[in-house]
Every structure is written in C-alpha cells, then in structure tokens.
Amino acid sequence: MNPHKTILLAVVLLAITAPLALAQGTYTQIDVPGASYTGCGGVDTAGDIVGAYGDSNGNVYGFLLSGGTYTTIVYPGSTNTTLSGINDLGKIVGNSNASANGFLYDVQAQTFTAVTCPNASETFPYAINNAGTIAGTIGYQGFFYGFELVGTRCSHIAPRVQMKYL
C-alpha cells in the first residue's frame, strides 16, 4: 500500500474511533488519604476495590475500598503487602515480602491463609472467582507458569517463561 494512503487510513480510523473511546464510562480517582501513590488491583461486582498504596518511607500496604471507606490490610510481619483480586464473598488474594507464597485474606474472619502450589518456589495469586478458584503465576525450576488452584489441586494453565532477574 502507498505510504500516503496508509497514513490517511490511520488518521481516518483515529478520527472515527477517538470519540467512541472518550465517550465510554465514567472515571473515579482512587487515592488513599496520605499515600504517596495508590494502585488498584481488583474490583468485585459491588464496586469494592482492592490494591496497594505506599508511604513516604517506602512501605507498601494493601487496601480495601468499600462503601467509600478505606481499610488497610497488612500481611503479618510484612513491609510490602499488595492485594490483587477480590470476589463477591469477601475473599481477597495478594502477595507480601514476608513470604515466598501469596495469601488468601477473608474479610469477614480477618484471617490470612497461605496460597501455595506444590513444588513451586514462589506463588503469586492475582485473581479469585466466586467459586474460590485462584489464578496467578508460580515459579518452578527457573520458569514462571500460569496456575489455577481449585481447592488443593494446582494446575499449570500457561506455557513456561524463563525467569530473568535484573
């Protein structure tokens, strides 16, 4: 295709789609009061949001925003807790620097349970559905794999990717 036609086509497509992209939905800024930054990880169907925020000392804390109220959630002994997923039953998954494994947090009971896959060197849960199935990544023999944890059965669900540390 002629370079001029390619550029013209790109401009026309951009002009057509830009108003559609700008018209979609509304946006709400999420800022934990007093935090140096706030990052969101997951949302349930009621609109409750989980994520993490940092303080000026470099510590990272998990948060739950529910009904306009922020609640800080910190894994015991951790200076870095990140929450990444929540289901409609008040179950939250996340990670901390106090453990090589992720965790499941029960909002109602206010308890933490380790999330581990057998033989994995690291477990990082990212999402949980209403049936309690947890998905994320694991480190195993120098590679990262996607996983699905149903009850106590952990299955690989993605091809392996070699771990590289900077």
Domains and CATH numbers, the chain: 34-162 (2.130.10.10)
The residues, ordered by sequence, that sit 6+ positions from 77 with a Cβ below 8 Å of its Cβ are 98
Residues with Cβ within 8 Å of 125's Cβ and at least 6 positions away in sequence, in order, are: 84, 85, 93, 94, 95, 102, 103, 104, 115, 134, 135, 136, 149
Distance CA 143, CA 146 (A): 10
Confidence (pTM): 0.80
pLDDT tens column, 16-25? 555 655 557 7
SS3 116: coil
pLDDT at 13 over 80: no
pLDDT tens figures, 62-121: 999 999 999 999 999 999 999 999 999 999 999 999 888 899 999 999 999 999 988 888
Query: Considering the chain, what is the average pLDDT of its residues?
Result: 85
Q: 144: helix, coil or strand? A: strand
Contacts of 49 (CB under 8 A, 6+ apart): 30, 40, 42, 43, 64, 65, 66, 86
